[in-house]
Every structure is written in C-alpha cells, then in structure tokens.
Amino acid sequence: MMSTTDTAGIERGFGDPVFDSQHTFRCVLEAFGYVGRPQVLSRATTRIGPLDPSTVSVCLTLMDFETPIWLDPAADSKRVRDFLAFHCGVPVTSAYASSFAVICDAMSMPHLDQFAAGTDLEPQSSATVVIQVPAFDGGPSVRLRGPGIPSDISLAIGGLPSWFWEDWHANHELYPIGVDVLFTAGSSVIALPRSISAEV
C-alpha cells in the first residue's frame, strides 16, 4: 500500500507552474548574463516561512529530486521542508554534499569553502549558494569585473558577514571550479558567478 503525505498545511507553489517557472528561469539566466543587475521576478510566488518570494521561486524553478539541498538553521523548518519536498521532491543533505544551499541568515552562514567547489573534470558539480539578504544596498561597495561586464560595475549588498568578499576572492581564484551565488531579496535576484572578481 502506498503511503500518502498530508498536504493540508502545505502552501501552493506557482499559480501557473509552467509559465511561472519558465519566467523565473529566464530571469535567472539574465541575472547570470548581466552580472550585478537585479532581475525582478514579476511572477514570483508568495513568501513561505522565512523565505522571500524570490527565494521560493528560485527553489521551485531550479531544484528537484536530483539536486540535494542544504538549508541553514534559519530556513530549516518543517514548513519549508514540507513545501520543498512536496513541490520539488528535493532531498535535504549536508552543506558540502548539496547541489544548492539556501541561506536565510547570511550573517551566520558557513564560509564558502564549506560547499562543494566541483572538480577539474566536473566543474559543473559545484554548489549554487542561494543567499537571501535584506536588500541589494547598504553594504560595502565592491567593484565587479569579469566576463559579461563591459566596464566596472559596483555592488553594495547589505546583510553579508564581514568576511564574505575575502571568501569570494578565494573562491574566484579557484576558477573554473568554485561555487556560484544567487542573492535574493524580496522578489528580485542578483547572480554572482565564480568567474567574476570583486574588489572592495
């Protein structure tokens, strides 16, 4: 006899799963193509527990049963686990074994070297770290340089630990391996691929 899951307390995901996930996927691609520019997820779903609409939408779009995730203590609740298990089928694992990490309390996040950086033969096996922040301003200004940036672009993301950009420098030095980061806030995302350098 097949077991059943009580879905009574699980919120719905996208209103239109096909078109909303396609829209979110395009926005994420744009974010990686135009580094440092916020992309608004106009079809973002609602907030789930501590997860902003953009964080939820990224999870619904990019994660599935083949992409184990790690939730930081601020995100790791029964409500969030049940939602992601029902809509995405994702297994929850340790930080280093995860394909995606979801971080709601950036100030207490692990250092970037605690996540999978991939290997020379399989750089695509690295983790994508989804970091939810209060806003895309208010932090120290950093200059981004790298592929897809015709000239310097500044970023001042708030709510990050003091060591983050030093860690990012070390992560960038590993290229072509290393983690990628997606910052989320409200209904918007900013991508930071491992190929991009940042100078404070």
Tell me which of 108 and 5 has the higher pLDDT.
108
pLDDT given for residue 8 in this prediction: 66
- Asked if residue 163 is part of any domain, the answer here is yes
pLDDT for the residue numbered 3: 39
Across the range 58-80, mean pLDDT stands at 97
Q: What is the amino acid identity at position 73?
A: P
pLDDT classification of 26: cutoffs 50, 70, 90 = very high
> Percent of the chain beyond pLDDT 70?
96
> Alpha helices, DSSP H only, in 34-154?
53-62, 78-88
Residue 44 domain flag: yes
pTM of the entire predicted model: 0.94
**Separation between Cα atoms, residue 14 and residue 145, nearest integer Å:** 35
Could you tell me if residue 3 is inside a domain?
A: no
Residue 83 belongs to some domain of the structure: yes
CB atoms within 10 A of CB 65: 10
Radius of gyration of the chain (CA): 16
- Tokens, residue 35: 């580094």
CA–CA separation, 61 and 42 (whole Å):
14
* Structural domain of 126: 17-199
* Residue 58 covered by a domain: yes
Q: Is residue 129 part of a domain?
A: yes
pLDDT tier, 154 (very low <50, low <70, confident <90, very high otherwise): very high
Domain count, the chain: 1
CATH number at residue 74: 3.40.50.11310
Q: What is the mean pLDDT of residues 30-49?
A: 92
Q: What is the mean pLDDT of residues 163-175?
A: 98
CA distance 68 to 124: 14
Tell me 12's DSSP state: P
